[in-house]
Amino acid sequence: MNIAAALKDLGIASRRITSLSGGALSDVYRVDTSRAVFAAKTGPHVAVEARMLRAMAAAGAPVPRVINEAPNLILLEFLHDAPCGHDSWEAAGAALRDMHATTGDASGWPEDYAFGAVDVVNTPCSDWPEFWAERRLRPFAQTFPDLAPRIDTACQRLRGILPDQACGLLHGDMWSGNLLATTRGVMMIDPACYHGHGEVDLAMLDLFSEVPPALAAGYGPLEPGWQERRRIYQIFPALVHLALFGGSYRNLVDRLLPT
């Protein structure tokens, strides 16, 4: 895509366009104009991301504003890095809790998504254990046939451990790199939203780094049994990383899957 031409079609005359590090789905740029600075993202899924960001904003989550969009292009508020103290992280935890309290009609999302080459199927389901088994875990049995029996065992154990229904609004890709300390406080970026159990976001955040204590304090206490559920919820991102990045994540998957 000719990013400068695409911006011009939106009536934006750029003075400087700088490539930034992006995710697996999008290219990201800093766009300087004579009046403001924006972030531009290009890629086949950015329109879905824009709808997710708007849903999160409507639920009170701290996310960058969607300013404009065109085919395969969205223009976002640019977030400037700045240190954030305890109060900002605590506020982010409270906002995450409130977002999880914003419920949909069922588990899932109206649109599918992806993490790089890994498709993420979000077809809605009224039964949360079924959603987690069929939309999140079982697809990897085809990717990793040697793990299929253990994945099946994990799926058979979900009922009675996970809630029967869960349809809170989730960020869906909640790792430390998607929580930014900025001049506007702690902001959430790069969502992969769907409706489900809020503990999913906390479980992923805890998989590769500790949940910031102030964020945990702002979120508040979890329901009893969260430790067992956290392990179950961490299987999915561990399998995603194994599929995307290979054998260095095999030990993590082996630790989480039942034997």
Catalytic residues: 173
- What ranges make up the beta strands (E) of 13-55? 16-20, 27-32, 37-42
Alpha helices of the chain — where are they, by DSSP H?
A: 3-9, 46-58, 86-100, 128-131, 139-143, 148-156, 199-208, 213-219, 226-245, 250-256
Q: Distances from the Cα of 138 to the Cαs of 176, 202, 236, in angstroms?
A: 26, 22, 10
What is the per-residue burial (b if ≥16 Cβ within 10 Å, else e) of 106-131? bbbbeeebebeebebebebbebbbbb
DSSP 210: P
Distance CA 163, CA 200 (A): 12
Distance CA 163, CA 197 (A): 8
Q: Are 192 and 115 in contact (CB under 8 A)?
A: yes
Amino acid occupying residue 225: G
Distance CA 97, CA 20 (A): 30
